Structures are given as structure tokens and as C-alpha cells.
């Protein structure tokens, strides 16, 4: 297409040329219109009024010239558009190394307007991804190929920005800046970790509020079909069925597995009267599994919000040897149980309270102290509860349906599915906005000598119920042990926000005063050296013989 200014000038000139028949043919530098051809330039034409040239042949050629050029002389003022991107916007699981293709609605001035300043590819931290650009003239498609030496991250979001300076052949720029994003695939060979999560998956007793039980049903963040946090509250109010999901994640050291489970609800109803309510609530637990001498679970740490505090409760097996004659409090343990009691058939039995969603233990029926008002459960309380009993059986999530009388408050045999924390939430950690998933970020302060220091990551989910509230549901990597207890005899080891999830081996060792000596020959001790922890960018499974 022609530039707009030139096209309009040429059109006016040729129109005048076709209509002027009143003067003689110019002989002093002008041209005879009969001799004009399709390549004539507007600035070369000079008009001199005189006798018209009546040659029929000349007139025919002049009319033919008009017919040839008229279609090309229409002004182009339509901006180009992006009609397709590869990967698609919000795509996940994109293979590494990736290429990026953008197809436009028409041909563009590629060499003049496309480069790293107008077609920007950036990682999570806003750092430019170096690469090269090529253009397919026939398909109107620009392809970006990262440099072979570019460091591309797994399980990480990338953003692409196209600036409006990118132009079509007529000089029209994009109507506005164009943005899209995608995230890369998770590390390979993770199926075994999902098998572990299924093997030790909790059996869950979820207490329900009888007049609105679906607010207490376990589900996924995108249960309503989108990734917007601010409409989850309204969606759960209007729901006619709720699918059952639990989130999971696994990290591994040379000595132990740390299997994390996260429970999600679109609404935290709060205490009696509806106060302390907020949208997009999360609680959870970590199951610690020793790898040697035989694989066995040794502990459960549960997490939940308690007003402005965050509780992380610890329950360990007698066989773990964590607690000796110094007592539970010295080792930061809430209670000890025989392994068969804490993990019957290999599964711990969770109790999740109605409305407040405290992550507790179903068989912990003895109060720890008079001042502790959380996780209260005993046989008398159990007899008054309405509950939904969840378990991981087939992995196909049960859809709990609304009946004529509403949603059921009591159900048994509900099958939940497992969703990956990393594959669902972590890869979208750049969605920080009022219309996105997360609100606010924090800088992770790793304990001295540990990895991950300085990561800027989301601190909370968007809250559509009370955006101004300080209490919000937190993604697992923002969990913190900020105990509400005032029992001065209970040992609390304060660690930075996020350590409980991002560096679970270090958290467990410090909280429970464990020696971190590890003997690779005898397989004895406790190791804080990770074989796999993608959050800290560690994957030694095929590199370190102790991790095979």
C-alpha cells in the first residue's frame, strides 16, 4: 500500500489530468497526457491550458490509465491488528526453548519498525530476553527466536509487548500497545511426585455451615471457568455444582520428601455473625516423609489464618524420635502420636472447620491448653457437626450438585482431584492486579546462607469481599508461622515469611531443633540439601548420585 499523503496527491493529480481538455500540449518541459504511463509521478506532471488533444487513441490510453490506478489510489488509514499469537495469550506448559510468532492483519514495515524496542520479550523480572526477529511477507508473521545462550526458566511466566510504532506499509501504526503472556512447562519427570501426593493424600472431614454448606466445599480457584479472583465470591453464590479439588506440591532432600497440600475456598465466612470474612481463602498442610531406612511418614504441619496471626501446627510420630524427655514444647511440637494413629493406612485425617477453615487434626481430641481456642474437636463436638468426607480415590473430582432443597450439608465418599500448586498458581505469579489473581507482593528474605533471597512474589489473593481488609487468603509461598499462642513455654522459632513453603527442610529442622548432619553412606540423619525444589531453582535428580 502507498503512504497516505502520496496516495492522495497522486489521486488528485490524475483526476485533474483526466478532466483538463482545454489547452494545447505542453512543449516546455511538460508531458503529453497521451504519452503518460502507469509509472508517472505526480510531481512530474505540468499543466498548460490550451487546445485539447482530440486523438481517440490518446483518450483511450488516458481512460485506461485511470482504470488501472483507481483501486490503488484509495487512501489507507486502517491500523494493522494482531490477529494471532503463538503461544496464545495465557497459555501454560509452553516448551523450552520457545519461539514466539505474531501474525498481523496485513503486511508491515518489518525492517523499519520491528526490533527489541518495539517487540519486547521479557521474563518475570522485566529482564529482556535476547533474540532475533524474522518476517514472513506472505503470512504477515513476525517470529522471535531467543538466542541459544538465553537463560529460559521453567515454570515461569513471560510477557510480550508490541508497541504502536509497528506500522503497516502505509505508515499506520498499531491502534494501541498490544500485550500477551504465557508460561513455560514444568520440570520433567514429576509424575512420581504426584504419585507420592496421592499415596499420602489426606482423608478430610470438612465441617459445613448448614444453611450455606457450599461456601465450605473444597474446590479450585478457577471453578467458575476463569482466572479472575474478584468474581469468585459471586460465582460461588450462584453455583449449581462445585467440583472437589485439593492442590499439592512436592520437594525432596537427600533424606526426606515434603508433600504440601493446599485447600481453597472462594469465601471465608468468618466467625459467628459473618465478621472476619474475605474472599479466596487458603489453608493447608505439609506431610513429611522419611526416605530411609524405609519410606514412612513422620510428621504433619498444618497451616491456617487466625485473625491477624498465622498458625503452623506440628504433629509428629513417636517413632520419628523428634521429641525426647525435654517435651513437646521444647521441640516446637503440638502433639505426638503413634504412627498408626497419626497416619492410619498412610493417610493423616484432616479436620477443617466450617466458616473459618482452620486446618486441624480429626483425631487430636485433647486440648493443648486452656488458652488455646483453635482446632477444638472432641467426640461431643463431632456428634454435632455436619461434614463432607473427602478422600483421594480415583482422582476424578466429584461434582457436588445443588438439589431442590439446596446443597447438602453432609456427604460421604466425595472424591477429590489433585491440582499442582506450581502448575496452577506459581506459573501465574505475574497476575498481580485488581482484575487478576493476586494483590501486592513481598520480597522473600531467605534465612542466612539459604537460597532464594530477594524473590519478589505475590503475598495474597485478591479479596472481592473486603478489599481494604488486612486479612487475606495467602498462596502457600507466602505462609508464615506467626503464632497466636501466648503460652510462654511453647517454643516458637521465628522465620521469614515464605520459609515454611519455599524452604520446608530448613523450616522443619529449625522449628524442631534437628541436627542437619547427614551420612550418605548409612543414610542416617536429616538433610537440608535439596534434590528437587523448583521454587529455589534446584534440580539435582540426575546430577547427584545421592538423589538418584
Q: What is the average pLDDT across 244-262? A: 98
Question: If you search the block for the grid coordinates 489547452, which residue do you land on?
Answer: 23
Say how far apart CA 362 and CA 198 lie, in whole Å: 19
Query: Where a domain ends, among 138, 169, 184?
Result: 184
Question: Are 91 and 50 found together in one domain?
Answer: no
Please indicate, yes or no, whether residues 146 and 294 belong to a single structural domain of this protein: no
Q: pLDDT per residue over 381-427, tens digit each?
A: 999 999 999 999 999 999 999 999 999 999 999 999 999 999 999 99
Task: Based on the fold, state whether residues 94 and 224 are members of the same structural domain.
Answer: no
Cβ neighbours, 10 Å, residue 213 = 23
Average pLDDT estimate for 529-544: 97
Helix or strand holding residue 31 (H, E)? none
Kindly tell me if the per-residue pLDDT of 25 is higher than 70: no
Instruction: Indicate whether 103 and 216 sit together in one domain.
Output: no
Asked if 206 and 356 touch (Cβ cutoff 8 Å), the reply is no
Mean pLDDT, to the nearest integer, of 446-457? 96
| Tally of structural domains, the chain | 3
Element (H, E) at 15: helix 4-19
pLDDT tier for residue 307 given thresholds of 50, 70 and 90: confident
Residues 233 and 372 in one domain: yes
Q: Are residues 198 and 170 in the same domain?
A: no
- For the segment 213-224, the average pLDDT, to the nearest whole number, is 97
What pLDDT score was predicted for residue 270?
75
pLDDT at 404: 94
What b/e string do you get for 388-415 counting C-beta neighbours within 10 Å, with b at 16 or more? Answer: bebbbeeeebbebeeeeeebbbebeebe
The predicted model gives 438-453 an average pLDDT of 96
**Does residue 44 register a pLDDT over 50?**
no
The pLDDT assigned to 221 comes to: 98
Confidence of residue 66 (pLDDT cuts 50, 70, 90): very low
In the structure, what pLDDT confidence band is assigned to residue 367 with cuts at 50, 70 and 90?
Answer: confident
Residue 76 pLDDT = 85
Query: 39, 73, 107 — which closes off a domain?
Result: 73
* Residues 29/46, Cβ–Cβ less than 8 Å: yes
Contact partners, residue 14, CB within 8 Å, separation at least 6: 42, 65, 66, 69, 73
pLDDT at 374: 84
Q: Are residues 451 and 489 in the same domain?
A: yes
Together in a domain, 103 and 239: no
Same domain, 264 and 326: yes
Do 236 and 197 have their domain in common?
Answer: yes
Per the DSSP assignment, residues forming a β-bridge with 349 are 203
Note the pLDDT tens digit of each residue in 256-281. 999 999 999 999 987 755 567 899 99
Domain interval for residue 403? 191-547
3-state SS assignment for residue 493: coil
> Does 161 score more than 60 pLDDT?
yes
For position 96, which CATH number holds? 2.60.40.1220
101-154 tens-digit pLDDT: 999 999 999 999 999 999 999 999 999 999 999 999 999 999 999 999 999 999
Q: What is the mean pLDDT of the chain?
A: 87
Domain boundary among 165, 184, 203: 184
Q: What per-residue confidence (pLDDT) applies to 341?
A: 97
Mean pLDDT computed over 79-88: 98
Query: Residue 454: pLDDT above 80?
Result: yes
* 8 Å CB contact between 187 and 207: no
Q: Please tell me the predicted confidence (pLDDT) of residue 373.
A: 73
Of 96-110, 246-260, 277-291, 372-386, least confident by mean pLDDT is 372-386
What pTM was estimated for this model as a whole? 0.84
Where does 254-367 show beta strands of DSSP type E? 256-268, 278-290, 296-306, 309-317, 335-337, 349-352, 359-361
Side-chain half-sphere CA neighbours of 439 within 13 A: 19
State whether 223 and 321 are in the same domain: yes
Identify whether residues 171 and 25 lie together within a single domain.
Answer: no
Amino acid at each position: 500500500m502507498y503512504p497516505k499523503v502520496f496516495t492522495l496527491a497522486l489521486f488528485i493529480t490524475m483526476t485533474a489530468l483526466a478532466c483538463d481538455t482545454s489547452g494545447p500540449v505542453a512543449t516546455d518541459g511538460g508531458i503529453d497526457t497521451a504519452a503518460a504511463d502507469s509509472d508517472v509521478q505526480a510531481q512530474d506532471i505540468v499543466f498548460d491550458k490550451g487546445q485539447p488533444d482530440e486523438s481517440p487513441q490518446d483518450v483511450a490510453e488516458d481512460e485506461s490509465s485511470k482504470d488501472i490506478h483507481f483501486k490503488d489510489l484509495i487512501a489507507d488509514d486502517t491500523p494493522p491488528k494482531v490477529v494471532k499469537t503463538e503461544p496464545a495469550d495465557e497459555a501454560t506448559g509452553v516448551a523450552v526453548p520457545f519461539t514466539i510468532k505474531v501474525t498481523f492483519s496485513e503486511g508491515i514495515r518489518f525492517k523499519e519498525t520491528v526490533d527489541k524496542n518495539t517487540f519486547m520479550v521479557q521474563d518475570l523480572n522485566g529482564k529482556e530476553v535476547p533474540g532475533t526477529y524474522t518476517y514472513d511477507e506472505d503470512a504477515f508473521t513476525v517470529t522471535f527466536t531467543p538466542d541459544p545462550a538465553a537463560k529460559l526458566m521453567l515454570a515461569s511466566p513471560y510477557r510480550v509487548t508490541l508497541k504502536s510504532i509497528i506500522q503497516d506499509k502505509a505508515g499506520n501504526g498499531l491502534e494501541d500497545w498490544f500485550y500477551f503472556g504465557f508460561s513455560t512447562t514444568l520440570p520433567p519427570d514429576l509424575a512420581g511426585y504426584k504419585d507420592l501426593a496421592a499415596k499420602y493424600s489426606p482423608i478430610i472431614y470438612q465441617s459445613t455451615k448448614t444453611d450455606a454448606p457450599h461456601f465450605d466445599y473444597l474446590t479450585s480457584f478457577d471453578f467458575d471457568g476463569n482466572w479472575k479472583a474478584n468474581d469468585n465470591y459471586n460465582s460461588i453464590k450462584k453455583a449449581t455444582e462445585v467440583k472437589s479439588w485439593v492442590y499439592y506440591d512436592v520437594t525432596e532432600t537427600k533424606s526426606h520428601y515434603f508433600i504440601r497440600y493446599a485447600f481453597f475456598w472462594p469465601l471465608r465466612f468468618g466467625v459467628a455473625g459473618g465478621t472476619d470474612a474475605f474472599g479466596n481463602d487458603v489453608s493447608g498442610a505439609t506431610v513429611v516423609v522419611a526416605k530411609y531406612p524405609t519410606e514412612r511418614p513422620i510428621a504433619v504441619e498444618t497451616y491456617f489464618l487466625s485473625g491477624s496471626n498465622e498458625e503452623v501446627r506440628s504433629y509428629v510420630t513417636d517413632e520419628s524420635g523428634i521429641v525426647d524427655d525435654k517435651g513437646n514444647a521444647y521441640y516446637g511440637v503440638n502433639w505426638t502420636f503413634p504412627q498408626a494413629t497419626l497416619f492410619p493406612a498412610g493417610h493423616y485425617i484432616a479436620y477443617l472447620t466450617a466458616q473459618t477453615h482452620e486446618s486441624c487434626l480429626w483425631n487430636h481430641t485433647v486440648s493443648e491448653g486452656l488458652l488455646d481456642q483453635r482446632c477444638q474437636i472432641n467426640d461431643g463436638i463431632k456428634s454435632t457437626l455436619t461434614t463432607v468426607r473427602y478422600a483421594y480415590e480415583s482422582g476424578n473430582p466429584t461434582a457436588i450438585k445443588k438439589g431442590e432443597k439446596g446443597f447438602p450439608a453432609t456427604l460421604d465418599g466425595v472424591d477429590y482431584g489433585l491440582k499442582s500448586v506450581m502448575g496452577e498458581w506459581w506459573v501465574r505469579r505475574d497476575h498481580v492486579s485488581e482484575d487478576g489473581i493476586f494483590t501486592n507482593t513481598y520480597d522473600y528474605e531467605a534465612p542466612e546462607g539459604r537460597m532464594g533471597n530477594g524473590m519478589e512474589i505475590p503475598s495474597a489473593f485478591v479479596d472481592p469481599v473486603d478489599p481494604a481488609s488486612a486479612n487475606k487468603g495467602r498462596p502457600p509461598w507466602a505462609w508464615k508461622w506467626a503464632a497466636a499462642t501466648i503460652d510462654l513455654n511453647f517454643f516458637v522459632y521465628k522465620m521469614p515469611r515464605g520459609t515454611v513453603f519455599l524452604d520446608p527442610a530448613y523450616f522443619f529442622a529449625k522449628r524442631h531443633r534437628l541436627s542437619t548432619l547427614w551420612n550418605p553412606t548409612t543414610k542416617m540423619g536429616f538433610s537440608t540439601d535439596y534434590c528437587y525444589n523448583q521454587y529455589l531453582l534446584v534440580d539435582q535428580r540426575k546430577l547427584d548420585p545421592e538423589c538418584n
